[in-house]
């Protein structure tokens, strides 16, 4: 996501990330990656639960779609460095707004199942557009 | 249950890495926002 930050900004969108863990973990991550966008901490999983994000389990490592997703993530240069306090919590990516408008939603089904940056970029409305996109 | 993901999240307030409280809906109130839920940091 941080590699595409400039592309998102050039389309008039802002970025934000929500993670688990604590403030120390988040600050370390921010220092290591150099990201400037908001990094929010949801240690009680309130936001994760509000949108029904899933948890995986060890059996996911045996899934064919998981193997493909992990290969894709590795090919993109992603590496897992730390497990965190909820290693089975899966993520998601959304494009919202302006206002409470859902323009894109990708709910991860397994490890490494991430939204494609091109899909996120395509969901960002043109400046001045108020049309509702589909997810 | 709110009808959309953005509605479900808008009223939730979370701290950022510096301890500032951020109401999620404020992030996309006036501009489109890409919001990513991480599995973990790092």
The interface predicted TM-score (ipTM) is 0.91
Report if residue A92 sits inside a domain: yes
The rounded distance, in Å, linking the Cα atoms of A122 and A106 is 13
Q: Which residue has the tokens 């150099």?
A: A34
Q: Which domain holds residue A72?
A: 2-123
Residues from B in contact with A at Cβ < 8 Å = 4-10, 12, 14-19, 22, 24-25, 27-42
- Give me the residue from A16, A20, A41 closest to B33, CB to CB: A16
Q: Is A135 part of a structural domain of the chain?
A: no
Chunked into runs of 10 residues, chain A (135 residues) has average pLDDT values of: 85 94 86 90 94 81 66 64 67 96 94 90 79 47
Tell me which residue range forms the domain holding B13: 1-42
Give the closest of B8, B22, B42 to A38, CB-based: B22
b (16+ CB within 10 A) / e for A45-67 = eebbebbebbebeeebeeeeebe
Angstrom distances, CA of residue A127 to CA of A2, A11, A14, A135:
22, 7, 13, 19
Q: What is the pTM of this model?
A: 0.81
């Amino acid at each position: 996501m941080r590699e595409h930050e400039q592309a998102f900004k050039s389309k008039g969108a802002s970025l934000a990330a929500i993670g688990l863990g604590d403030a120390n973990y988040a600050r370390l991550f921010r220092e290591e990656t150099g990201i400037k966008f908001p990094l929010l901490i949801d240690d009680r999983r309130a936001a994760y639960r509000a949108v029904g994000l899933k948890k995986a389990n060890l059996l996911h490592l045996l899934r064919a779609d998981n193997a493909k997703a992990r290969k894709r993530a590795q090919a993109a240069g992603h590496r897992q460095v730390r497990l965190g306090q909820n290693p089975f919590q899966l993520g998601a990516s959304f494009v919202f707004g302006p206002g409470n408008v859902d323009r894109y939603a990708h709910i991860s089904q397994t490890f490494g199942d991430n939204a494609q940056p091109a899909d996120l970029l395509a969901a960002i409305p043109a400046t001045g557009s108020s049309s509702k996109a589909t997810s | 249950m709110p009808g959309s993901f953005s509605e479900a999240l808008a009223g939730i307030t979370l701290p950022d890495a510096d301890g500032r409280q951020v109401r999620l809906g404020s992030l996309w109130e006036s501009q489109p926002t890409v919001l990513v839920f991480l599995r973990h940091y790092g």
